[in-house]
Amino acid sequence: MSKKNTPTKKESIKENKKESGFKTYFKELGEAISKGDWSVKLSMLFMGAGYTAHKQIIKGILLTLFEALSIVLFVIFAIPSLKDFGTLGTVKFEKILDPATLQTTVNDYDNSFTILLGSIVSLFLVFVFILIWIANIKAVYRLQLIDQLPESINKPHINNFWGGIKTLVNNKFHITLLFLPTVGVILMNIIPILVLIAIAFTNYDQNHMPPNALFTWVGLANFKSLFTNTVTSSFSYAFGKILGWTLLWAVLATVTTFFLGILLAMLINVKGVKFKKMWRTLFIVAIAVPQFVTLLLVRYFFDDAGIVNSVLGNLGIVDVLKNIGLVNEHLNYIPFLSSEHWAKFMIIMINIWVGVPYQMLIATGVLMNIPTDQIEAAKIDGATNFQAFVHVTMPYVLFIQGPALITDFVKNINNFNVIYLLTNNSYITPDQAMANANGKEVDLLVTWLFRLTNEYYNYKMASVIGIIVFIICAVFTLTLFRKLMSGGREEQFQ
């Protein structure tokens, strides 16, 4: 083990030295600019100049072409958006009926969303351009330093154009590997997130929908209305309630499925249980059916007038529940998914139904690899089965499953399917204040924001809620991951 570790340690030391952050990044840039010769300074203006001066013509030409293309794109695409970025457009959409021809013409209006999107994309590209520009200056300065070395010593090898391409499949292979996935992530994640963060500071909602209307910056007004209650807005009331339920749900959903999954795995794994494989497969069949099919089905199963209710009604169980006060007297059915407390209870139960087989499978794998000598040692020392479970099995399982538990918690905070498919169309909130904020008691923050956008076009509030969900998840994961990852967990097994 120790032999294996040596190269890793060396590597990580090297890595730590290199990774000393932003400070060095700008220090190097400052040094390059102040100490660079004329070729460095000229390449600040013409990016290819430095390389050309150091006899790398192809790189020089390519860089200059890149610069020229960037400038042309900037003038054509970025400037028209960016000039309206401060106001998000001023010319309103108007239709004019020309009385002579009886044809309506549309004026040259501003579309606030296009302006916002265009500006953000432009700013992002400008940022990327600046990064490349800085990298170029540093590279030219490095060339200069190498040139200045005395002839007598062995100079470090300088890559020409083709050599540079070759390193992309070798030393700098990570650049090749990460390029396309990064472009994808920028398109699908970074730019949308930037757009939505921007929308949180605008009044983009049903009354300000492009192209027919303009929206504009409103500063922190949306955040204010989420945190303060006014007569006209009940968002802060709804937010408090939904946030509470979201957190409660995430904890309950994660904990119940995790522990019940382990218990089920142990129940099947015990010596003396026959047909182990059959039992496992039966449980897996239940969750192998696509979730949306089973969830929609279960919704009809537990409908107010559904089959469970008619069976339980015939058996007289509904009356029993009425007598002990679990069901409202006026009802002749159990409001499984239509009253707040029943619905929350059922959602947790159905989630157990969905989630336990997964956890059972994973726990089975983990339990099979548990070092049995430790359990036996504990038993020889006089530990009972239960003590061995608490002090040996659980810590081991938690160690292996720790990161998965964190991701599960975050996934549950954002668990759209279970809540939406079970309660959409079947749960109607009795609380006027909740209804005013377009929320329901059983909503999670994500389902709330989904309906805010998809049904009510309230993009501004949805963005604010999204940012808050993001902050909760990020703070939570980062603190926990830091704890788990400390102590070189990552390279432990290499």
**Contact positions with another protein (CB under 8 A) in 12-51:** 12, 14-15, 18-19
Q: Quick one: 38 or 179, whose CB is closer to another protein?
A: 179
Q: Quick one: 52 or 309, whose CB is closer to another protein?
A: 309
Say whether residue 357 binds another protein (CB under 8 A).
yes
Alpha carbon distance 261, 383 (integer Å) = 24
Select from 31-39, 41-49, 239-247, 415-423 the region that touches another protein (CB under 8 A): 415-423
Select from 66-74, 87-95, 137-145, 475-483 the region that touches another protein (CB under 8 A): 475-483
Contact 458, 403 (CB under 8 A): no
Alpha carbon distance 56, 62 (integer Å) = 10
Alpha-carbon separation of residue 299 from 338, 351, 444 (angstroms): 11, 13, 18
Say whether residue 145 binds another protein (CB under 8 A).
no
Q: Quick one: 38 or 300, whose CB is closer to another protein?
A: 300
| Distance of closest approach, residue 356 Cβ to another protein, in angstroms | 8
List all residues 6 or more positions away from 18 whose beta carbon is below 8 Å from its beta carbon. none
Select from 8-16, 139-147, 152-160, 219-227 the region that touches another protein (CB under 8 A): 8-16
Tokens of 311: 């069976």
Contact 295, 417 (CB under 8 A): yes
Alpha carbon distance 379, 287 (integer Å) = 36
Q: What share of the chain is helix, strand, coil (3-state, %, to 5)?
A: 70, 0, 30
Residue burial 471-482, b: 16+ Cβ < 10 Å; e: rest? ebbeebeeebee
Site residues (CB under 8 A) for another protein, limited to 229-288: 264, 267-268, 270, 272-274, 279, 281-288
146-185 footprint of another protein as x/- string (CB under 8 A): -----------------------xxxxxx--xx-xxx-xx
| Distance of closest approach, residue 478 Cβ to another protein, in angstroms | 7
Say whether residue 383 binds another protein (CB under 8 A).
no
Select from 50-58, 137-145, 244-252, 454-462 the region that touches another protein (CB under 8 A): 454-462
289-318 footprint of another protein as x/- string (CB under 8 A): xxxxxx-xxx-xx-x-xxx--xx-------
Size of the site for another protein (CB under 8 A): 112
Instruction: Look at phi and psi of residue 327 and say left if phi exceeds 0, alpha if psi is from -120 to 50, else beta.
Output: beta
Select from 71-79, 153-161, 232-240, 469-477 the region that touches another protein (CB under 8 A): 469-477
**Among 425, 430, 479, 488, which residue sits at the site for another protein (rule: CB under 8 A)?**
425
Q: Quick one: 38 or 416, whose CB is closer to another protein?
A: 416
- What's at 288, amino acid-wise? A
Contact 337, 303 (CB under 8 A): yes
| Residues pairing with 95 in the sheet | 106
